[in-house]
Amino acid sequence: MAGTRDSRPVYSTDGGRLCPQCQRQLVKCVCGTARPLAAGDGVVRIRRETKGRGGKAVTVIAGIPEHPDTLKTLCKQLKKRCGVGGAVKGDTIEIQGEQRAVCQEHLVKMGYQVKLSGG
């Protein structure tokens, strides 16, 4: 395991899954609605999709461990930075066009660990 990554428990044998924010058992979580939907592995993945979109490219950003309201704010920032439209769909952000490099740069500046996925 890399020494530069912060380690934290994600599962406890005496209580099950832990909240990524308050580190308590999910049934005893005090975060309420402020808790992110899913933390995943902590890596934000950016991919390009064209399937089912008439050949038009869309940049899909998944794995952001934030609350849905925060995702909407982040989506707004990315749309403004890229100068295009976009939307939050579930726990992913979709930005119109091939904007992977711009989105990666912006998210890295915000402190997220980002990986480009796909080709």
Q: Mean pLDDT throughout 28-42?
A: 62
Report the distance separating Cα 82 and Cα 118, nearest Å: 20
pLDDT in tens, 72-114: 999 999 999 999 999 999 889 999 999 999 999 999 998 888 9
Q: Give 55's pLDDT tier (boundaries 50, 70, 90).
A: confident
Task: Please identify which residue in the block is written with the tokens 């979580």.
Answer: 29
59 and 104 in a single domain? The answer is yes
pLDDT at residue 81 in the model:
93
111 and 58 in a single domain? The answer is yes
Does residue 2 sit within a domain? no
54 and 89 in a single domain? The answer is yes
Q: Give 58's pLDDT tier (boundaries 50, 70, 90).
A: very high
pLDDT at residue 1 in the model:
45
pLDDT at residue 54 in the model:
86
Does residue 1 sit within a domain? no
pLDDT in tens, 14-23: 666 666 667 6
Report the distance separating Cα 10 and Cα 8, nearest Å: 6
109 and 54 in a single domain? The answer is yes
41 and 97 in a single domain? The answer is yes
Does residue 65 sit within a domain? yes
* pLDDT top residue among 87 and 42: 87
Q: 77: closest CA among 109, 118, 106?
A: 106
Q: What percent of the chain has pLDDT over 90?
A: 43
CATH of the domain at 42: 3.30.780.10
- Please give the residue range of the domain that contains residue 18: 7-35
